[in-house]
Chains A and B, each alone.
Chain A
Amino acid sequence: KNEVEQSPQNLTAQEGEFITINCSYSVGISALHWLQQHPGGGIVSLFMLSSGKKKHGRLIATINIQEKHSSLHITASHPRDSAVYICAGGATNKLIFGTGTLLAVQP
């Protein structure tokens, strides 16, 4: 079992839909990271959070420390949101990555 698990692995949505991607972790972490990987391979850091909730534009990330669970929400999804979304737990000396969620938003 991976220390950081994401679900779903693949997600197809229609433009405008509300999207949720989940991340559960089984190790102690100091922070939870959400990353976005574009089709060309480049990775962008979206959020780093250790408690509560953060919002940036149409993206919202939440974390529940007690339940060891985080969610990434995308409101009013758009085809340009199509990418792989990766969560990673910040452990003592490294990041532990989930395998990613492939999101396809269809027009």
Chain B
Amino acid sequence: DGGITQSPKYLFRKEGQNVTLSCEQNLNHDAMYWYRQDPGQGLRLIYYSQIVNDFQKGDIAEGYSVSREKKESFPLTVTSAQKNPTAFYLCASSIDFPLEQFFGPGTRLTVL
């Protein structure tokens, strides 16, 4: 079955630690995205990648980093520089940019 997987579903980290969220897709999509969702707010774009080895900052990239070494994978690292990292993180992909996007199940990150 084609789709997008994110792991883990729930993640707990201590303040000051970097943490990497996984996102894998087997849809053969060129474009991939990372969003952050906070209560009462719309999804906000952190980073996006239109093609392998290329990525662009979104609206709230500060404190985050990404890599796109393979078409299937777009991991997101939440660094200690991110002031409010506790949130729900969603990964998405699309055939082309920025057409209909398919979303992963999300990772809920809690920083203690």
Contact = CB atoms under 8 A, between A and B. Distances in A.
Interface of A: 2, 4, 31, 33, 35, 40-45, 48, 86, 88, 90-91, 93-100
Given A45-B100, A94-B45, A97-B42, 15 more contacts: A31-B99, A41-B88, A41-B105, A43-B92, A45-B102, A45-B103, A48-B99, A88-B42, A90-B99, A94-B59, A94-B98, A97-B43, A97-B44, A98-B42, A100-B42
Q: What range describes how many residues of B lie at the interface?
A: 20 to 34
A31 B59 CA distance: 20
21 contacts: A2-B42, A4-B42, A33-B101, A41-B105, A42-B103, A42-B106, A43-B90, A43-B106, A45-B103, A48-B99, A88-B42, A90-B98, A93-B97, A93-B98, A94-B58, A95-B43, A96-B42, A97-B42, A97-B43, A98-B42, A99-B42
Contact of B100 (A33, A91, A93, A98): A33
Interface of B: 40-45, 48, 56, 58-59, 88, 90, 92, 97-106, 108
